């Protein structure tokens, strides 16, 4: 388990930070206000090879791990929350599911173009009537000959407006419980499949959220990922590893707010001196810096466990829970330090304040993370780290 990034990871961080400073930060406010998918930024990430960062080289990727992915996500999120959400959804949800559970034929069909950014991936699990309760899926898929016939809908699907390849979770046999769920790849343009744009989000406005609907949508049976009835375990596995990505995103959001607060505190003057000289401001900055460091270390620990193929469910939940709440406190303090100017657009801390909020909701709410952690503790009275 590593405590600090390796030399290779630092090189990745420097590359991502340079890109973020030049291509993300200057346009983040426009991405937010226009509520448009950051296509140019996405294409830039593709040119850097980041879209296939965790995909094996044999499948067209870079062969990296979640530790490498985490340092890249932090830099992206510190500059533009929307772009980081788009990136995470493409890499650690949609693409990762195909890379980890697809057959050789499926990987060859979809992964190279996804790694090059020629196609965009989405992950469709949430439904109008099911969020935290993944077993409550009402989207169905009955088998007819060599096809699955899908009916139902999905909601809050990130990248939905622009994605070409959707990993869709369906209920093929409700009587079998979690063993009746499948993961099926549906391509844009399939008859019976429609995408409906969703508006009105509080934050992450450039992440192209959509509702999906399926009406007798026929998908080749060959598009099913993993064995029949394994969709539930596929979803749990991917969500657990992707929580590391969300934790890294939260570290980035927190750092973006913190950096802005430090810069402002050094410039703003009250009562004849810079506000950075006031102890109340210093304490807020000290608390934020300490919490960001702790969140980063939790994230790196979880990432190293994922990369080593070791159990990581509780550790990923801990990282996601703590980092998302750290990001909330960092954004709150940053707005407070900025005072009235932090409350207005297009200020960076106002945007981060809105963007951060969803990190305590998606990929498992904070309440769900606490349940996961508690179950791990109660399953082994020595706690989640007892297996060390």
Catalytic residue among 35, 363, 367, 379, which? Answer: 363
Structure tokens at 303: 């990432």
Secondary structure (H, E, C), the chain: CCCCCCHHHHHHHHHHHHHHHHHHHHHHHHHHHHCCCCHHHHHHHHHCCHHHCCCCHHHCCCCCCHHHHHHHHHHHHHHCHHHHHHHHHHHHHHHHHHHHHCCHHHHHHHHHHHHHCCCCEEEECCECCECCCHHHCCCEEEEECCEEEEEEEEEEECCCCCCCEEEEEEECCHHHHHHHEEEEEEECCCCCEEEEECCCCCCCCCCCCEEEEEEEEEEEHHHEECCCCCHHHHHHHHHHHHHHHHHHHHHHHHHHHHHHHHHHHHHCEECCEEHHHCHHHHHHHHHHHHHHHHHHHHHHHHHHHHHCCCCCHHHHHHHHHHHHHHHHHHHHHHHHHHHHHHHCCCCHHHHHHHHHHHHHCCCCCHHHHHHHHHHHHHHCCCCCCCCC
Whether 350 is catalytic is no
Active site residues: 363
């Amino acid at each position: 388990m590593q405590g600090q990034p390796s030399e290779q990871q630092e090189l990745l961080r420097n590359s991502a930070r340079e890109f973020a400073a030049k291509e993300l930060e200057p346009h983040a406010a426009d991405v937010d206000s226009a509520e448009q998918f950051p296509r140019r930024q996405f294409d830039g990430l593709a040119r850097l090879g980041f879209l296939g960062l965790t995909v094996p080289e044999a499948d067209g990727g870079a062969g990296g791990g979640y530790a490498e992915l985490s340092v890249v996500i932090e830099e992206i999120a510190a500059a533009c929350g929307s772009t980081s959400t788009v990136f995470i959804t493409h890499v650690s949800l949609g693409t990762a599911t195909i890379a980890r559970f697809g057959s050789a034929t499926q990987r060859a069909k979809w992964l190279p173009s996804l790694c090059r950014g020629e196609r965009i991936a989405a992950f469709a699990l949430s439904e109008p009537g099911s969020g935290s309760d993944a077993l409550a899926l009402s989207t169905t898929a009955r088998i007819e000959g060599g096809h699955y016939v899908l009916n139902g809908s999905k909601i809050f699907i990130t990248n939905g407006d622009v994605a070409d390849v959707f990993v869709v979770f369906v209920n093929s046999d409700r009587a079998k419980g979690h063993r009746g769920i499948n993961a099926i790849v549906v391509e844009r343009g399939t008859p019976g499949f429609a995408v409906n744009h969703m508006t009105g989000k509080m934050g992450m406005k450039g992440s192209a959220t959509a509702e999906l609907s399926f009406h007798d949508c026929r998908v080749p049976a060959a598009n099913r990922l993993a064995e029949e009835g394994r969709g539930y375990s596929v979803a749990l596995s991917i969500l657990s590893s992707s929580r590391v990505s969300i934790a890294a995103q939260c570290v980035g959001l927190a750092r973006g707010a913190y950096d802005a607060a430090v810069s402002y505190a050094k410039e703003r003057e009250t009562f004849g001196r810079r506000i950075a000289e006031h102890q109340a401001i210093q304490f807020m900055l000290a608390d934020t810096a300490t919490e960001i460091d702790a969140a980063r270390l939790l994230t790196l620990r979880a990432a190293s466990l994922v990369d080593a193929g070791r159990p990581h469910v509780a550790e990923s939940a801990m990282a996601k829970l703590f980092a998302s709440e750290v990001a909330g406190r960092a954004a709150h303090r940053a707005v407070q330090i900025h005072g009235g100017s932090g409350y207005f657009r297009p200020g960076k801390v106002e945007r981060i304040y809105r963007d951060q909020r969803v990190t305590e909701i998606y990929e498992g709410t904070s309440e769900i993370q606490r349940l996961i952690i508690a179950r791990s503790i109660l399953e082994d009275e020595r706690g989640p780290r007892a297996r060390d």
